[in-house]
Structure 1
Amino acid sequence: MSGDELRIRIGRRFSWRRLLKSGRAEVRRSLQARTVAMVVAVTLAVAVIFSIVSMVSVRTTLLNQVSMQARNDFSNMVQQAQTGLDSADVSDSVQYQQLVNNLASSLQNEGASNLVSVYLSGKDDESRLIVPVSTDPTYEDAVTDDIRTAVASDTHSRVFYQPIAIDVENRTDVPGAVLGTTLDFGAVGGIEFFALFSYESQENSLTQIQLNLISVCLALSVLVGIVVWLTLHGIIRPVGVVAATAETFAAGDLDARVPVTRKDEIGSLQDSFNTMADALNQKIDELEEAGAMQRRFVSDVSHELRTPVTTMRMASDLLESRKDEYDPITRRTVELLSGQINRFQDMLADLLEISRYDAGYAALDLVETDLRDPIRDAVEQVSGLAQAKGVPIHADLPNVGVLVYFDSRRIVRIVRNLLANAIDFAEDKPIDVRLAANRRAAVISVRDYGVGMPHDQVPHVFDRFWRGDPSRARTTGGTGLGLSIAMTDAKLHQGSIRVRSELGEGTWFLVMLPRDPRLGAVPDNELPVDFERGTRRLAITGGFGIADNRSADYIKREGKPRASESASTRGGAR
């Protein structure tokens, strides 16, 4: 494998963008990572600001010091040069030039370590007695015309200072300074003296200080991040243990507890959680015991009332058979008595059914039968009530059998209770009963177009003894247990009942039943019909009839078809 291929492969495995995306996701997901990132960012920002302020201050102070030092060094050089000129005994131009050359060399050799070059020239250029001398001609251009003019026009031997930037050893813009003055040398009318100083070493020191500050900032940020991470880890980890234990407790493991490992506030949280769990356990036990006692009471009372109610029923039947012999008032009393006894018997039957379910004694008598039969039976049982209320029932069922394993008695009761509820609230409008099926499940639909319910009441329709509008006249004499029992029967079949309602548009029930309850519940995505998700509208997805994934469902057994084509078009039925 070539080096280029290896680099390409490594580049594919490692991506800064993927790393950044992963880090952002971790920061959003983790409180610990978010806190550490924020603390590190703040620490780094503070350290950077402090470093910048410190560098500006240090740079200003250092440049002032080196500038002062350069001035002092130049003053010493001026004093040395002036002493040399004053003590010199020369008479001709050759000696003058030799003296200036020696003086420049002496000043360069004995000057400060940051002295770059010395430049000497006669103040009177017309005399031509002295040729300008430079110890390093490379930097002659560093002596600008401005400082030359200032020195040439000075008559009081003042020292002039000019900051400059010079190039030193392949480095550009190194800070430095040119200092200049006039030396008194009567024979030639004076000598202009310039000295070039470099601040390279000070600049190197500043650079090193900057690198050190950057390193300290980064190290400090990393150290603070590690400290904060470890601190938060010590806090969040036990809190996470408490949260995990709470989830376990909520899932049903009532014996889940948190080990108390600390004596600080976290320890108080752990101990408080355990105390709360114990209190909840005790309360749950009390509620379960109270519920069991209530269920036993209801069951015992229901059983005990069956005998006297049967006796009352017999007496009422006797009176009913001879009511024509009574006067109108007595006859009406007998009719009311018979009706209330019937309602009492229905309530006892419902209570006994509920008590059997609560006690875990309810069982299914599964038989593979045509699901249309119990639907027809239920429609027939409520037909008299529907006619009396003036409510038409439209049963639109497939024209072929829908074989399903079910308990016929319970399915009849489910549909009958849903129809009785719909008749109560249909307000002379029709009720539609339809059936959908595929290979896995069957769905019975019961819809009325009556008054409907507000959305906040819909979740309570299956609660025991709950009524959406207690003020309404209940001509059916319902007990308030019908829909609860219907849901119980559906759950025994590994199914469920779903409901939607709109005020003024009616109520819609869908009874979801697996084709074979012994195989367990059917996932929502495999149901032939369901309510539209993400909305509360009275709308469904799928279609009624018999189909499987938009194709005809022919399931043959011993040469006989078990199902046929859909009896209606699919999709978006309302």
Structure 2
Amino acid sequence: MLVFSLTAALLCLFSMGTIKGTIQAQVMDESRRDFSSQISLAQKQLSSANLADSSQYQQLIGNLASELQNNGSGNMIGVYLMSGDDSNIDEKTFVPVSTEPEYTNLISTEMQNDLQSDSDDSIYYQAVNIAKSEKGTPGAILGSTISSNGIGTVKIFALYSYQTQQQALLQIQFNMLVSDVLLSIAIVVIIFSVMRSVVKPVQDVAASAETMASGNLDIRVQVNRQDEIGVLQRSFNEMADSLVQKIDELEKAGDMQREFVSDVSHELRTPVTTMRMAADMLSMHKDGYDATTRRTVELLDGQIRRFQEMLADLLEISRFDAGYAALDLTEGDVREPISQAVEQIASIAETKQVPLNVHLPNMEVLACVDARRICRIVRNLLANAIDFAEGRPVEVRLAVNRAMVVISVRDYGVGMTASQCERIFDRFWRGDPSRARTTGGTGLGMAIVLADVRLHGGDISVRSQMGKGTWFLVTLPRNPENGPVNVAQAPIRFSAENNGFCTVGGFGIADNGFSDYLTGEPNVGKGRKQ
């Protein structure tokens, strides 16, 4: 619209300039024609006059000036007659005559000289400004010469005013300007209306799409057009209906799958428990069996144990999916569930010849946590680290401040790529499916770790490099009732400046004894809260 307005303004200026030039040309032609006819009339009268003395010459000149003034066009202001013989001023045959002496000074000396030297009776034109107002009025002086045997050469000048034409031109320009403004406004309104009729429905569809993207699947657009916009509106509504239908189908399928997994897991618990009891009985008497039978009993016991762990993981996942998982918060020393997890996994680490280096503070670290879930988090992380440590050490550390605890589990094994790190918490995903899983993993351990951490309002982050190992940092609030953790205030965290193993902060206890982690109040003068 801005381009259109500028174009319209330029066209208006060009039109006004063209009209002004046309009117000026017409006025000049009219003035020339009128002056030419007056010159012809004066020449006839002067040629037919029979004069005896100079007094009659003067009278003739005066009458001629009056007649030219009377016979001229309405915009002729004055007529000026001067002798054309300047060779001897004292012998002039008549005194100059003017019908409007006030403007005699507008006749330039240059124009008089041009007439003096002219021998073809040409008509000369000079534009002037008649001082009738502050700005003046445009006009023109036209000059030519006539001759007589008795008088000689006579210079004739006529002053024409273009005030009427100027007023007409100003009125035309004003009318054009007003018309241009009104036309521009009308066109802008029309363009705006047309664009609004096109853009507004599209904006409505876009806004509805954003609303749907935010999770409101019930949003629909009003179909009020029969053109392509109407096709877009109908297509959006049909797409929304189809999307809702597909989501409902997926949710139904997901519910059925979760229900199936839950039901199967529960139904299998009884036979697996019976099998577990039978395997235990066989294991108790395996020393009396031959070598083949004894090996068979050991394999049976291991696989049943793995089956039990898989059922436990499936049941736990089904609880998370159903929204039944809940924390059993108790205030206690965070070091205890970490130590329990290390003890439970120690035999596996020894079998794989993986050293476990545990570095915990030498004073208790109180926090409100679900000890069973904390133990499972650390156990699953250690099991994953041992699987990929390739005989290198696995480290467990703890960092604490007034608001958070950070559990660190790091191995120096094969490591992972960036794309593998993104999928490590996916269910049933394994970084290397071909690797032997001596720990009996089900592919659900890391997914359970993530669910347990989030249930506490915590955060888990991972960094890994091929050939250098993998490092997990589990950040948990010391009091989950205070809300989720802010990792930026954790006692140790990965640096955001690179994707390597650089960290900010350090391990150990910071501000542990200076304030109550539950209330934030200073512990000065109080005993420790139990």
Shared fold per TM-score greater than 0.5: yes
Secondary structure of residue in 2 paired with 1:184: strand
Residues 104, 538 of structure 1: alpha-carbon distance in 2 compared, 3 angstrom cutoff: farther
Deviates more, 1:498-507 or 1:366-375: 498-507
For residue 73 of structure 1, what is the aligned residue in structure 2? 34
Among residues 365, 371, 386, which one is paired with 2:328 in the alignment?
Answer: 365
Is 2:451 the partner of 1:488?
yes
SS in structure 2 at match of 1:382: helix
Return the offset for 1:116: 4.2
In structure 2, relative to structure 1, the CA distance for the partners of 1:558 and 1:124 (3 Å cut) is closer
Rounded Cα–Cα distance in structure 2 between residues aligned with 1:156 and 1:374? 126
The 8 Å contact of residues 334 and 366 in structure 2, kept in 1 or not, is answered as yes
User: How far off its partner does 1:294 sit?
Assistant: 1.1
SS of the residue aligned with 1:513? strand
Consecutive unaligned residues of structure 2, counting only runs of 5 or more, are 517-521
How far apart are residue 410 of structure 1 and its match?
0.5
- SS of match in other structure, 1:462: coil
Counterparts in 2 of 1:163-562, with a 5 A limit? 164-170=127-133, 176-324=139-287, 330-523=293-486, 527-533=490-496, 536-547=499-510, 553=515, 555-556=522-523, 559-561=526-528
1:157 has 2:121 as partner: yes
* In 2, Cα distance between equivalents of 1:432 and 1:144: 110
Q: Return the alpha-carbon distance in structure 1 between the equivalents of residues 505 and 174 of structure 2.
A: 70
The structure-2 alpha-carbon separation of the partners of 1:561 and 1:545, relative to structure 1 and needing over 3 Å to count, comes to farther
Tell me if the contact between 1:546 and 1:553 (Cα under 8 Å) persists in the aligned partners. Answer: no
Contact in 2 for aligned 1:183/1:191 (Cα 8 Å): yes
Q: Aligned equivalents of 1:261 and 1:86: distance in 2?
A: 89
Residues 39-50 of structure 1 mapped to structure 2, 5 A cutoff: 40-50=1-11
* 1:558 Cα offset (Å): 8.9
**CA deviation after TM superposition for structure 1 residue 72, in Å:** 1.1
Q: Specify the code of the residue in structure 1 equivalent to 2:182.
A: A
Q: Could you tell me whether the CA contact under 8 Å between 2:306 and 2:440 is conserved in 1?
A: yes
For 2:523, the aligned partner's letter is: K
Q: Kindly state the Cα deviation for residue 248 of structure 1 after the two structures are TM-superposed.
A: 4.0
Identify which of 126, 132, 135 aligns with 2:96.
Answer: 132
- Pairwise CA distance, 1:328: 5.1
SS of corresponding position for 2:152: coil
Q: Residue 491 of structure 1 aligns to which amino acid in structure 2?
A: R
Determine the C-alpha separation between the residues in 2 that align with 1:533 and 1:409: 32
Q: Which moved more, 1:164-173 or 1:294-303?
A: 164-173
Amino acid in the other structure paired with 1:303 = H
Moved more, 370-379 or 165-174: 165-174
Q: 2:61 maps to which residue? A: 100
> Is the Cα contact below 8 Å between 2:459 and 2:474 reproduced in 1?
yes
The two structures, once aligned, show a CA RMSD in angstroms of 3.3
Q: Kindly state the Cα deviation for residue 74 of structure 1 after the two structures are TM-superposed.
A: 0.7
Shift of 1:404: 1.7
Instruction: Quote how far apart the aligned CAs of 1:270 are.
Output: 3.3
Cα distance change, pair 289–194 in 1 and its aligned pair in 2 (3 A): same
Q: 1:414·1:486 contact (CA, 8 Å) conserved in 2?
A: yes
| Structure 1 CA distance for aligned equivalents of residues 19 and 7 of structure 2 | 18
Task: State the 1:355 CA deviation.
Answer: 1.6
Tell me which amino acid in the other structure corresponds to 2:19. V
Letter in 1 for 2:27: V
Inter-CA distance 473–153: structure 2 relative to 1 (3 Å threshold): same
Which secondary structure does the structure 1 equivalent of 2:396 belong to? strand
Per the alignment, do residues 529 and 295 of structure 1 end up closer, same or farther by CA in structure 2, a change over 3 Å counting? Answer: same
SS in 1 for 2:470: strand
Distance apart, 1:482 and its partner CA: 0.4
1:119 aligned residue (66, 80, 95): 80
Looking at structure 2, the residues matched to 304 and 260 of structure 1 have their Cα atoms a distance apart, in angstroms, of: 52
Tell me, yes or no, if the aligned pair for 2:313 and 2:444 is still in contact at 8 Å.
Answer: yes
Q: Deviations over 1:89-142 (max 9, x none)?
A: 543334433433443344345433333443321111123223334445565454
Distance 1:504 1:216 in 2: 80
Distance in structure 2 (CA, Å) of the matches to 1:508 and 1:210: 82
Which residue type is aligned with residue 472 of structure 2?
Answer: F
State whether residues 515 and 523 of structure 2, in contact with CA within 8 Å, keep that contact through their aligned partners in structure 1.
no
Deviation string, structure 1 residues 337-392 (Cα, Å, up to 9, x no partner): 43333322221111111122222332221111122222222233223333444444
Q: Distance in 2 between matches of 1:102 and 1:544?
A: 123
**Superimposed CA distance per residue, residues 224-266 of structure 1 (whole angstroms, 9 cap, x where no aligned partner):** 3333333333444444444444444444444333344444444
Change (3 A) 1:244 1:557: farther
Q: Distance in 1 between matches of 2:40 and 2:459?
A: 110
Deviation at 1:551, TM superposition (A): 11
Distance 1:280 1:395 in 2: 51
The runs of 5 or more residues in structure 1 that have no matched partner are: 1-39, 564-574
Residues 166 and 330 (structure 1), Cα distance of their counterparts in 2 relative to 1, 3 Å cut: same
CA distance in 1, matches of 2:137, 2:392: 97
Aligned counterparts of 1:537 and 1:56: Cα–Cα separation in 2:
73
Largest Rg, 1 or 2: 2
Secondary structure at 1:560 match in 2: coil
**Against the structure 1 CA distance between its residues 240 and 91, is the aligned structure 2 distance closer, same or farther, given a 3 Å change threshold?**
same
Q: Report the Cα distance in structure 2 between the residues aligned to 1:61 and 1:107, rounded to whole angstroms.
A: 28
Q: Give SS of 2:232's match.
A: helix
2-structure distance, mates of 1:403, 1:48: 79
Residues in 2 aligned to 1:173 and 1:475: alpha-carbon distance in whole angstroms: 110
Distance 1:401-1:174 versus aligned 2 partners, 3 A rule: farther
Letter in 2 for 1:66: V
Shift of 1:544: 4.1
Distance 1:425 1:177, change over 3 A: farther
